[in-house]
Amino acid sequence: AQSVTQLGSHVSVSEGALVLLRCNYSSSVPPYLFWYVQYPNQGLQLLLKYTSAATLVKGINGFEAEFKKSETSFHLTKPSAHMSDAAEYFCAVSEGGSQGNLIFGKGTKLSVKP
Amino acid sequence: GAGVSQSPRYKVAKRGQDVALRCDPISGHVSLFWYQQALGQGPEFLTYFQNEAQLDKSGLPSDRFFAERPEGSVSTLKIQRTQQEDSAVYLCASSLAYRGTTNEKLFFGSGTQLSVL
């Protein structure tokens, strides 16, 4: 069965600093992996997804994630944090390649200090 | 509307009451999903509709949970005899594509926060 683990329920960075949100997955089949962002009082929004085409995936708002099979990781990064990046971020893996039945991690809340 | 709309935004119910949560997907979207998000947890899959057909209800936690989408657009999630453990945010998502297609993209609503006292 697939699962994801997000390390750190809360991450705080200064504006302009590197953002690194960690995600490790467990999957018996080649995984489809996703990062979603949830701003306060809004729905989840897809940041990026990995579907085996390229290991480095670029998403919206300057975020990117790298799939590392040897480390079973799919960490999310952004070179320079903006105040507007403050939100909760969810890593997810899909069952059998479908985006439908997503299995989410518990989420990491990102705070950005001025 | 431009996005997925859910109502009510907040619902408070006494234990034992029945509740109905509504989801208006984006017009023309064939796929509709319901997720449950408990406090401090990620969303968990409940059920999936393709048009009016409920193709997957493997995530529904008990027979107190029932979902329908009779005309292939608006969907209602009903919870009978609510319990305190049902307190959560219920998220609806829709997609233009069928589940499992590579270009599928889910659009989520803001959710209904259910509190059972």
Q: What angle do CA B26, B11, B68 make, to 5 degrees?
A: 45
| Contact residues, chain A to chain B, C-beta under 8 Å | 9, 41-46, 51, 90, 92, 96-107
d(CA B64, CA B19): 11
**What is chain B's pLDDT, residue by residue, as a tens digit (117 residues)?**
579 999 999 999 999 999 999 999 999 999 999 999 999 899 999 999 999 999 999 999 999 999 999 999 999 999 999 999 999 999 999 999 888 776 678 899 999 999 999
Instruction: Work out the burial of residue A60: count CB atoms within 10 Å of its CB; fewer than 13 is exposed, 13-18 middle, 19 or more buried.
Output: exposed
Q: Which residues of A touch B109 (CB under 8 A)?
A: 43
Q: What is the 3-state secondary structure (H, E, C) of chain B?
A: CCCCEEECCEEEECCCCCEEEEEECCCCCCEEEEEEECCCCCCEEEEEEECCEEEECCCCCCCCEEEECCCCCCEEEEECCCCHHHCEEEEEEEECCCCCCCCCCCEECCCEEEEEC
Query: How far B17 CA sits from the closest chain A CA (Å)?
Result: 26
pLDDT, one tens digit per residue, over A13-65 is 999 999 999 999 988 777 889 999 999 888 899 999 888 778 899 999 999 99
- Token pair for residue B76? 């209602």
Interface membership of B46 toward A (CB under 8 Å): no
Short-list A35, A9, A10, CA closest to A92: A35
Running DSSP on this structure, what letter comes out for residue A81? -
**Best A6, A41, A101 residue to mutate vs chain B (most B CBs within 10 Å):** A101
Distance CA A91, CA A103 (A): 8
pLDDT tens column, A59-101:
999 999 999 999 999 999 999 999 999 999 999 998 765 555 7
Distance from CA of A17 to the nearest CA of B (A): 26
Contacts of B102 in chain A (CB under 8 A): 51
